[in-house]
Structure 1
Amino acid sequence: MDQIQAMRVFARVVESGTFTLAATTLQLPKASVTKHVQALEDRLRVKLLNRTTRRVTVTTDGAAYYDRAVRLLSDFDELEASMSQVRATPRGRLRVDVGTSIARMLIIPQLASFQARYPDIQIDLGVTDRTVDLIADNVDCVIRGGELSDQSLVARRVGNLEFLTMASPAYLQRHGTPQHPRDLENGHNSVIFFSPVAQRRYPLEFQQNGEIVEIANPSTLAVNEANAYTSSLLAGQGVGQITSYQAREYLQSGELVQILPEWTQPLLPVYVVYPPNSHLSAKVRAFVDWVVEIFAADPLLQCK
């Protein structure tokens, strides 16, 4: 038995849900697919799949084997690529984790261009604003804003984000337009971010000519996800700060209004981050280079 081939066949059956679809995508006879899986089960002496007339489901042992097999197959493909000319055409499964607003507004809308360029790379795209442990979570690379705390990771700076102070026209009609950040402490509501991991709420921050003002209260709403934060401002929940990249469409439509434009906030650096052992990976390098391209193409992502 070709164990590597059997693992590939088994993984495809799990992902497809049927032997027939797996056989079609692998361009193999259905009997061959069945034979590979049976041989693998005989070798391991465990049942990997539950078979019915309509669908195949994975057993508990099968699920555990699948998770390890996918990692091993990915490592095997990467090893072959690193030792051959395949480096020119990267391939394999790539696990990427991206913040919610960058995923929605930048990565997903343009992902087809990456897939057209690298059709042999399969992407598992995680979308979350929480902190990801690249090693424990088996992630190849992440795109994140903010300075890095883990110096053991490799980071490439791809851009900077500018923040604007925003509110909806309906909110400003009810509460008036503040002329100074301190005005937000009386008769206004602030929408702020909170981190359940750090157990911290982040105040609105304003800078002008060396003066720094932080406004944390009154805050009637704190959220921990970027798209929900923007939705809160659109719903008239209060005054908040979002990036100029996020704000662009709402400024054009008039759904949000910029206030206190003379008060700024420090630029937020954006990095692509990956473990040091991934620096020779053709698929990681291809994705990082592509991210650099799409960030460089938009001036709002390259604020100075």
Structure 2
Amino acid sequence: MEALNLLESFVQSADSGSFSAAARRLGLTPAAVSKNVARLESHLGLRLFQRSTRRLTLTQGGERFFRQVSDPYATLRDAFAGAAQDAGSPTGVLKVSMGLAFGREYLVPLLDDFLTQYPAIVPDWHFDNRAVDLIRDGFDAAIGGGIELTEGVVARELARTHVVVTASPAYMKDRPLPRHPDDLAEMDGIARRNASTGRVRAWTLRSALGEEAAVVHRTRAIFDDPEAMAHAAMRGLGIALLPMPHAAPWLESGALQRLLPGWCADNGPIALYYPNKTLLPARTRVFIDFVTDAFRTRGIARRFDGR
């Protein structure tokens, strides 16, 4: 097993280009990974990396060794994963990325039941409103919307989501309810800026009858976070076009009300992303099945449907 551990540190370092990235994947410190690679070099009598303060580069011999061991290492890794699946209860650290508000509202409430079924799994959940690189950063899975499918990553759709028009009851007091998206032009609005492009998002709503209309309002504020938009709308700053995952809790509590209930915009799917491996670790496989089933049977997917 010691030789396999040393090899694992080398392969992950060569694949990621740094001891720090390899350490994140393996749950070790960069110093431990560096020490493992040095011990492997000592066993082989071969220098595998050229080290500098700025980068890690394979030597010619290191490149040749990496090509020779990559496929056998992957086979061994999958064999260990398969043996763990056959051995019984799934175990190990489950590293998952998800949005901050989304994870808190919809995934954390599932945790009790998940851990009751799989007590030997340790959730290592990262709450961050950004897309992660599952392969490079060593994640078992990620949950979110609009994540680009890179090589070696597959997605399993959990729910379709829609954007709906919301406002606080206080803001709508003494105001007539809009009957058509054109009526929103007379209202204050909280616009959304795309965090990656910097552009303010323009929405086109679609009715149940197939009619389409662009949304225009008097921009009162611009945010790049839908959860912040929801809180601003609840304070009466104006209307907010919110994805249903962010709007649903406040609509259900009455803190926000939906305007134009016959209109919404498609916001794409929420999906569970995971590495495409022949043999997934048992902890990842049972997590995928558990979350997919929960979204279907506990009504979570229905809460995201704005139609």
TM-score, normalised relative to structure 1: 0.67
Query: Any idea what the Cα deviations from partners look like across 1:205-261, whole Å, max 9, x if unmatched?
Result: 311233322325532223233322221221122212334454444334322111111
2:198 alignment partner in structure 1: 199
d(CA) in 1 for partners of 2:87 and 2:238? 51
The letter of the residue matching 1:229 is M
Worse-matched range after superposition: 77-86 or 103-112: 77-86
1:83 counterpart SS class: helix
Contact in 2 for aligned 1:166/1:242 (Cα 8 Å):
yes
Counterpart of 1:272 in structure 2 is 272
Tell me which amino acid in the other structure corresponds to 1:156: R
The Cα of 1:165 is off from its aligned counterpart by 1.6
* Partner in structure 1 of residue 122 of structure 2: 122
Superposed CA RMSD in Å reads 3.4
Alpha-carbon deviations, 1:27-60, whole Å to 9, x = none? xxxxxxxxxx9xx99x97xxxxxxxxxxxxxxxx
Determine if the alignment matches structure 1 residue 257 to structure 2 residue 257: yes
CA distance in 2, matches of 1:296, 1:212: 30
Q: Is the 8 A contact 2:191 2:240 kept in 1?
A: yes
Match of 2:282 in 1: 282
- Contact 1:147–1:269, Cα closer than 8 Å, also in 2: no
5+ residue gaps, structure 1, are: 6-36, 45-74
Residues 155 and 192 of structure 1: CA distance in aligned 2, closer, same or farther (over 3 Å): same
* 1:158 maps to amino acid: L
How many angstroms does 1:199 deviate by? Answer: 2.5
Taking the aligned partners of 2:149 and 2:79, their CA distance within structure 1 comes to 30
- Quote how far apart the aligned CAs of 1:176 are: 4.4
Are the counterparts in 1 of residues 168 and 257 from structure 2 also a CA contact under 8 Å? Answer: yes
Sort the Cα spacing of 1:139 and 1:185 in 2 relative to 1 into closer, same or farther, 3 A.
same
Q: Using the aligned pairs only, state the percent identity.
A: 26
CA contact (8 A) 1:278 1:284 kept: no
Q: CA deviation at 1:91?
A: 1.5
Contact 1:162 1:267 in 2 (8 A): yes
Question: Secondary structure of 1:241's partner?
Answer: strand
Q: Distance in 2 between matches of 1:163 and 1:207?
A: 10
How far apart in 1 are the matches of 2:197 and 2:176?
Answer: 34
Quote how far apart the aligned CAs of 1:154 are: 0.7
Question: CA offsets, 1:91-136, max 9 Å, x none?
Answer: 1222101123321211011212112211222221111222222223
Cα drift, residue 168 of structure 1:
0.1
2:137 is paired with a residue whose SS is: coil
1:198 partner letter: T
- How far has the Cα of 1:4 moved from its partner? 9.0
CA distance in 1: counterparts of 2:196 and 2:147, whole angstroms? 17
Structure-2 residue corresponding to 1:179: 179
- Is contact 2:81-2:280 (8 Å) kept? no
Q: Deviations over 1:238-288 (max 9, x none)?
A: 212334454444334322111111212226322111122375221111111
Structure 1 Cα separation of the partners of residues 129 and 188 of structure 2: 24
- Matching of residues 214-233 of structure 1 within 5 Å: 214-215=214-215, 217-233=217-233
Aligned to 2:169: 169
Distance 1:76 1:149 in 2: 26
Return the alpha-carbon distance in structure 2 between the equivalents of residues 2 and 80 of structure 1. Answer: 15
Is the Cα–Cα contact under 8 Å of residues 140 and 278 in structure 1 kept in the other structure?
no
Decide whether the 8 Å contact of 1:160 with 1:269 is kept in 2: yes
1:107 correspondence with 2:104 = no
